[in-house]
Copies of this chain bind each other. A is one copy, B any other.
Amino acid sequence: MNPKRVAIVGASGYSGEELVRLLLSHPGVQLAAVTSRQYAGQTLAQVFPKFAHHPRARKLCFSEPKAELLAQEAQVVFLALPHGVAAEFAVPLLQLGCRVIDLSADFRLKSPGVYKDFYAREHPAPALLAQAVYGLPEVYRDQIKSASLIACPGCYPTSILLPCIPLLRAGLVRPAGIIADSLSGVSGAGRKAEPDYLFVECNESVRPYGLPKHRHLAEVEQELSLAAGTQVTLQFTPHLVPVSRGILTTLYLAPNARFDRPGDLGEFGKKVAACYLAAYRDEPFVRVLEGQNLPDTKNVVGTNVLELAWRLDPRTGRLIVMSAEDNLLKGASGQAVQSLNLICDLPEITGLV
């Protein structure tokens, strides 16, 4: 059987670069095309010397991003583009029969109205929203397998949704009053030459930003609401910390339980443990930590794993859940490859361990 041919549109940002890395060594597909206006005509090896020891990187040239050519070269196309731009490529590619895995925010929301509210522009292709599948394999595995358009979740959303969805579905925590406090590495801002992201401005700096209405809120609330069966409004505070990669999210949740008698807390803890066990025991990329272990971004950076731990605070009765992931892998390109494996009928871990 011939390996599926895949292409990347917009391979020059950090997510695109990670996609290149993953797909160059992916045993089940062939990286057939990469596009970049800026680098058209140069080989992957010339633009990214770090891939130069890979034979294919010395041959494959960046081409101009044109849908017709891409559709000839590849059966699956990844879009690693800014929101707004991604939708413009998705439309013709889908018409030409490609399956599209979009890493932007363009197809994550079901409602064009919410899109407009958070992204301050009309949705560029609202007709496609209904067919897009939210690319979180742990939640939408079956739909992804047959999807023609997959909207990969954002990095913050992944770090919030995987810890919360099982608890909300099981009714263990209240949908109201959830707080997500997130710490992100600087690659989350992309390869943008802006003063805020200069080394000297980020190094030895810890700072909140973008609160209280960050764009990622929209998709998180949509998915939490679906899990809870009721509208969820989230409090979300992102912070920038001086690491290149990684997101650490701390969630403050209210148990849907009363702790009146001595054993109640322990009882509830067992339910949380059982809930996570049922949800993630067989998931290759979610690791529920045991014992005294707490998440640490350095243990997941470079992998597609999200790790999480939880603590019940007997003094306040709150449930604290913490998660760590690599924002460019489980939070972006790794998760996109998980979806690729699903639509190619390959083992989900192919090329990711």
Contacts and interface: CB of A to CB of B under 8 A. Distances in A.
B191 A193 contact: no
Interface string A173-204: 00000010101011100011111011111111
A318 interface: yes
B246 A204 contact: yes
A92 interface: no
Given A193-B198, A205-B296, A296-B205, A320 B243 contact: no
A191 B198 contact: yes
A49 interface: yes
A322 interface: yes
Contacts of A207: 248, 294-298, 324
Contact of A199 (B25, B183, B186, B320): B186
Chain A binding surface SS class: loop
Contacts of A72: none
Which of A192, A208, A250, A315 gathers most chain B CB within 10 Å?
Answer: A208
A230 interface: no
B208 A322 contact: yes
A305 B53 contact: yes
A289 B242 CA distance: 22
A187 B195 CA distance: 12
A242 B244 contact: no
Interface stretch (A93-101, A130-138, A141-149, A209-217): A209-217
B204 A49 contact: no
Contact of A202 (B199, B204, B211, B320): B199
B241 A204 contact: no
B235 A204 contact: no
A200 B305 CA distance: 21
A14 B14 CA distance: 27
A174 to B, nearest CB: 13
A203 B204 CA distance: 9
A66 interface: no
A2 interface: no
Nearest to A221: B315
Contacts of A195: 191, 193
A123 interface: no
A53 B284 contact: yes
Nearest to A234: B316
A54 B305 CA distance: 11
A108 interface: no
A111 B315 CA distance: 18
A49 B248 CA distance: 16
15 contacts: A186-B198, A192-B198, A198-B198, A199-B202, A199-B242, A203-B203, A204-B246, A207-B248, A208-B250, A208-B294, A209-B294, A212-B316, A233-B316, A239-B250, A242-B243
Interface of A: 14, 25, 49-50, 52-54, 179, 181, 183, 185-187, 191-195, 197-209, 211-213, 233-235, 237, 239, 241-246, 248, 250, 252, 284-285, 287, 289, 293-303, 305, 307, 311, 313-316, 318, 320, 322, 324, 353
Given A53-B353, A206-B296, A212-B313, 13 more contacts: A14-B200, A183-B183, A186-B198, A192-B198, A201-B298, A204-B297, A205-B298, A206-B243, A206-B297, A213-B313, A235-B320, A237-B250, A239-B250
